[in-house]
Structure 1
Amino acid sequence: MTFTPHGKHLVAGEWLTGEGTFRSAPVHGDPHEFSGGTVDLVDRAALAAEDAFAPYAATSRDDRAAFLDAIADQIEGRAEAITAIGTQETGLPEARLQGERGRTTGQLRLFADHIRKGEYLDRRHDPAMPERQPLPRPDLRLMQRPIGPVAVFGASNFPLAFSTAGGDTASALAAGCPVVVKGHPAHPGTGEIVAEAIRAAIRETGMPAGVFGFIHGDSHAVGAALVQHPLIKAVGFTGSLRGGRALFDLCAARPEPIPFFGELGSINPGFVLPQALAARGARLAEGWAGSLTMGAGQFCTNPGLIVMPKGVLADAFAKAVGDALAKVAPQPMLTDGIADAYREGANRAAGVATPIFEGPCEGRNVLPAIYKTTAEEFLRDHTLSEEVFGPMGVIVTTTTEEQMMDVAQAIEGQLTATLHMDEADIDMARRLMPVLERKAGRILANGWPTGVEVADAMVHGGPYPASTNFGATSVGTMAIRRFLRPVSYQNIPEALLPEDLRGF
């Protein structure tokens, strides 16, 4: 199956044009032209989503599950075409796109199974107690209900799993909420073909046409209009701290503020404890180099900071990392802008830390960079604790356990934190655990955080600036909670209750 983008926007089941055009910037192959998004298109998509909300929210869990499965089937039916345009636009290898497609369809099927079980509804019933003294108790039933149309922003680094039909869209649709997606301009063709798959699934399962909309956009105006639209009731976002914070502020400033579930930035610190460093420092160095450069470091869980005791073992670790990185070939960044930002971040780090390895960068292709500094310098200069999107890492050396605790305390909110430890390190690890629990949404032992399992027990979120809502996750079945709210029904006749609450 071949695919040539038509460059249009999906609104109420129809492909429409906007105003002006923009061109894609593929790593290889010919660019394509796309219609620019407009405020009017955003308005029309939001209105269509609102029209679809009541009938879609009233569908049965089995029907919504069948819809999610149908989307997965339609995506798989376009597998080769999705991989072809995805690799052209992003430069990601075919194997990565194929794996990410499997993750995307797996998420959809996981949510289909999740809503069929019904446990997410959190149904509760306090029967009436008319004889209770001094006052009778009414009949009370509670259930989670969908909140309304949701806006989703495609992510630059995951053209499938965190974009058009990714986890935000899958969980919102599972909850019973229509979705309007703003496609990412870094991979507009990939977004478009997945939108076509969703449109086909809508028609196959008879869902309301407005349950899904897709707007291309290479301007901030489209995103701003989407999050400020009065019919949008929540936003899912994965991207930069700067862009996410701007949208978060717009959501908070609305006459009716709405939740903004943003995953913004993380350096994902790893703490290498003394016995682990002594026992397997060389192996840890090799593992860090591999994790740091995976996908050119363009993962939100990229481990950009390693903290370890100062000394000859730390020196040997740094050398081993440098030797491993010297064998890494240049990799393309997702966009020219991301490549420029990576170089700027590396230059900032070089101004305050000692270079261990710095590979030359040319255009969109980059090589990794590693720097080393002391705990004193790290605590003094906030620059080194800021995320640099790409294969850059910083080694921080400490002279005492207290210094390692100070570094842990100084780190801002993170998606992940890792303890590299052996049995003899357990006392120090026990001291660090309460700190890391407050800093990160996921804590690992003896692993690397790149790779986020889609499962019931996964948390992909954390205290700000890792995300804007520390009680939520954008990966795993608990992500559905973001787009639900509890409604209590008091003395409501059985015939008026939602279908899932009748007889409960």
Structure 2
Amino acid sequence: MYTETPQEQVKELLHKAEEAFQYLKGRSAIDRAGLMYAIAAKIEGLGTELIATAMEESHLPEARLIGEKARTVFQWRSYADHIKDGLCFEARIDTAIPDRTPPKPDLRKIKVGVGPVVVFGASNFPFAFSTAGGDTASAIAAGCPVILKAHPGHPKTSALMAEAIFGAIKEEGWHDGIFSHIYGNSNESGAYLVQHPIVKSVAFTGSYGGGKALFDLANQRKEPIPVFAEMGSVNPVFALPEKMATDPRGLANQYLSSLTLGVGQFCTNPGVLIAVKGKDLETFKEVLRQEVLSCPPANMLHAGIAKAYHANSERMLTESTIRVIGKAEQIAAEGQGAALLVETDAKSVVENDALLEEVFGPFGLIVACESEEEMLNIADHIKGQLTITVAATEADAVRHSKLISLLQDKCGRLLFNGMPTGVEVCIAMQHGGPFPATTDARFTSVGSDAVQRFLRPISFQNWPNALLPDALKNENPLGIYRTVNSVLTKDASAL
């Protein structure tokens, strides 16, 4: 049942998606929002079978999956709410001035869907980042059909989510090419999708190797297309001196809790902490050493991830400058991950890029700096990140303004205290960052602004009002926000 979808069948589904894209042009954003509410209701109605199946395939606990299901439903509803007010489509109207020299034309601009989108399901969030996740929801919100490639780590879960989407589309009477669901575990199947001329955009969450390969394929096409790939991050924490002196024990417990949450399988896992040497850092490390002993190993998402975690951990331990701080006392069984904390010095990190490569799992690297200047050197050296956390007092932040200014260039989300593992679904969230965290730092994959990834602008010049898209007509039949002669308004009388 979950064998690779034959290429001929994939080709048929791609052509159906192409038809569906033309169909979607005739349905308004308000119509699409109605479909999205129906999909949300279908997902919400999935019972214990969904949770039980996901638990079996992903090894995630029931409470985590129940929460993730609620988040997924919320994403569909909040993105639907977002497109109804029209702000994301950025309607712009500049009316004509015919008696100007030269005459100014009537110009009206709107953002529209780019076309069929291929979405690769992610492994670490089988609901919220996979088949019915934010990529699928935001592409459909933009007016783009989705061809979803199920993640091989949870095919049954993916099938249940796909059936919910299919059910809503059928019951609402929409074109069945709006959503397609395929299987494929080979590199060739992914390459075929990305290189097919019908496909106009790609969304991916996973490893650097996988995301970069898709990005390169998309840019080698006769018609290059955008790939929005989230490819991992070590999410460094810069612990500033006054904060470290205030409560090294509390900070250590907070850091370890975040590091080991979900067996470290979050894309925002804080894999590196940087601090200045001294007694406070020694206290911090001793608390970590003691606390990590009692961290129980746990099943990772699937055997492949567990195998990679052990291989990457062992690779880090072969580095001559790496020293073990502490590790879980209980030995991990096959398929499990156990917490491991190591340390190194700032000079080694700057000289050896391998030390800042992501180890996906409960692995933490503590970097000890001789001075605050060395901390600044590390900030200058690190590559793009999803998040960076500044553990600081307000006085710390003022004194280290140069560091904080530099860190803003290196991440999509900059935290003041707390830990980065929670990712709120809201319009102000930025879940994306400079390369290599993602392939395009201008966009987010979480929050309703994620819809922007699958939109492009088109301008209409001097068109008769009756022939314009509804969003640009004088009477504003959709009741959306528009910028009319530089004033944001819903009021049709502005024209």
What TM-score results when the alignment is normalised by the length of structure 1? 0.92
Specify which of 176, 184, 187 is matched with residue 220 of structure 1: 187
Q: Name the counterpart of 1:20.
A: none
2:46 is aligned with 1:75: no
Specify which of 73, 81, 101 is matched with residue 105 of structure 1: 73
Contact kept? 1:41, 1:215, Cα under 8 Å: no
In structure 1, C-alpha distance between the alignment counterparts of 2:203 and 2:462, rounded to whole Å: 35
Q: How does 1:111-190 map to 2 (within 5 A)?
A: 111-133=79-101, 135-190=102-157
In structure 2, C-alpha distance between the alignment counterparts of 1:391 and 1:383, rounded to whole Å: 18
Moved over 4 A (4+): none
Superposition CA RMSD, Å: 1.0
Cα offset, 1:218, TM superposition: 1.5
Q: How does 1:292-371 map to 2 (within 5 A)?
A: 292-352=259-319, 353-359=322-328, 360-371=331-342
The range that moved more, 41-50 or 414-423, is 41-50
Cα offset, 1:290, TM superposition: 0.6
Cα offset, 1:79, TM superposition: 3.2
CA 1:57–1:327: 2 relative to 1, 3 Å: farther
Q: Name the counterpart of 2:353.
A: 382
- AA in 1 matched with 2:361: G
Contact kept? 2:238, 2:391, Cα under 8 Å: yes
Contact kept? 1:401, 1:428, Cα under 8 Å: no
What TM-score results when the alignment is normalised by the length of structure 2? 0.94
Q: Name the counterpart of 2:64.
A: 96
In structure 1, C-alpha distance between the alignment counterparts of 2:422 and 2:398, rounded to whole Å: 28
In structure 2, C-alpha distance between the alignment counterparts of 1:149 and 1:384, rounded to whole Å: 39
- AA in 2 matched with 1:304: G
- AA in 2 matched with 1:492: W
In structure 1, C-alpha distance between the alignment counterparts of 2:56 and 2:400, rounded to whole Å: 45
In structure 1, C-alpha distance between the alignment counterparts of 2:288 and 2:12, rounded to whole Å: 53
2:57 is aligned with 1:57: no
- AA in 1 matched with 2:3: S
Cα offset, 1:362, TM superposition: 2.5
In structure 2, C-alpha distance between the alignment counterparts of 1:502 and 1:147, rounded to whole Å: 22
- AA in 2 matched with 1:201: A
Contact kept? 1:416, 1:441, Cα under 8 Å: yes
Query: 1:198-245 CA distances to partner (integer Å, 9 max, x unpaired)?
Result: 000001211101000000112112111111111010001000000111
- AA in 1 matched with 2:56: Q
In structure 1, C-alpha distance between the alignment counterparts of 2:339 and 2:304, rounded to whole Å: 17
Contact kept? 2:397, 2:404, Cα under 8 Å: no
Query: 1:83-140 CA distances to partner (integer Å, 9 max, x unpaired)?
Result: 010000000000111111011000000011101111111111111111111x111110
Q: Name the counterpart of 1:489.
A: 460
Contact kept? 1:349, 1:371, Cα under 8 Å: no
Q: Name the counterpart of 1:279.
A: 246
Contact kept? 1:421, 1:429, Cα under 8 Å: no
SS of residue in 1 equivalent to 2:344: strand
Cα offset, 1:60, TM superposition: 1.8
Cα offset, 1:279, TM superposition: 0.6
Query: 1:328-358 CA distances to partner (integer Å, 9 max, x unpaired)?
Result: 1111111211111111111122122100123
In structure 2, C-alpha distance between the alignment counterparts of 1:326 and 1:67, rounded to whole Å: 50
Query: 1:145-182 CA distances to partner (integer Å, 9 max, x unpaired)?
Result: 11110000000101010011111100010011100000
2:410 is aligned with 1:436: no
Query: 1:354-409 CA distances to partner (integer Å, 9 max, x unpaired)?
Result: 00123333210121111011101111111110011100010001111110000111
Structure 2 unmatched runs, 5+: 477-495
Cα offset, 1:495, TM superposition: 2.0
In structure 2, C-alpha distance between the alignment counterparts of 1:407 and 1:186, rounded to whole Å: 36
Q: Name the counterpart of 1:449.
A: 420
In structure 1, C-alpha distance between the alignment counterparts of 2:40 and 2:285, rounded to whole Å: 44
Structure 1 unmatched runs, 5+: 1-6, 8-33
Cα offset, 1:322, TM superposition: 1.9
Q: How does 1:375-414 map to 2 (within 5 A)?
A: 375-414=346-385
Query: 1:416-436 CA distances to partner (integer Å, 9 max, x unpaired)?
Result: 000000133123442222211
Cα offset, 1:283, TM superposition: 0.5
Q: Name the counterpart of 2:15.
A: 47
Q: Name the counterpart of 1:26.
A: none
SS of residue in 2 equivalent to 1:271: strand
Query: 1:17-55 CA distances to partner (integer Å, 9 max, x unpaired)?
Result: xxxxxxxxxxxxxxxxx2222322221111110011111
The range that moved more, 213-222 or 37-46, is 37-46
2:205 is aligned with 1:261: no
Cα offset, 1:80, TM superposition: 1.5
SS of residue in 2 equivalent to 1:452: coil
- AA in 2 matched with 1:460: H
Q: Name the counterpart of 1:10.
A: none
In structure 2, C-alpha distance between the alignment counterparts of 1:333 and 1:41, rounded to whole Å: 33
**Percent pairwise identity:** 47
Q: Name the counterpart of 1:231.
A: 198
In structure 1, C-alpha distance between the alignment counterparts of 2:346 and 2:435, rounded to whole Å: 22
SS of residue in 1 equivalent to 2:409: helix
- AA in 2 matched with 1:354: R
Q: Name the counterpart of 1:87.
A: 55
In structure 1, C-alpha distance between the alignment counterparts of 2:407 and 2:184, rounded to whole Å: 38
2:386 is aligned with 1:415: yes
In structure 2, C-alpha distance between the alignment counterparts of 1:312 and 1:42, rounded to whole Å: 61
Aligned residues: 471
Contact kept? 2:93, 2:472, Cα under 8 Å: no
Q: Name the counterpart of 1:210.
A: 177
In structure 1, C-alpha distance between the alignment counterparts of 2:440 and 2:432, rounded to whole Å: 8
CA 1:256–1:282: 2 relative to 1, 3 Å: same
Contact kept? 1:140, 1:491, Cα under 8 Å: yes
2:441 is aligned with 1:474: no
Contact kept? 2:112, 2:458, Cα under 8 Å: yes
- AA in 2 matched with 1:466: A
Cα offset, 1:501, TM superposition: 1.1
- AA in 2 matched with 1:290: S
In structure 2, C-alpha distance between the alignment counterparts of 1:278 and 1:332, rounded to whole Å: 36
Query: 1:305-339 CA distances to partner (integer Å, 9 max, x unpaired)?
Result: 00001122112111111222211111111121111
Q: Name the counterpart of 2:398.
A: 427
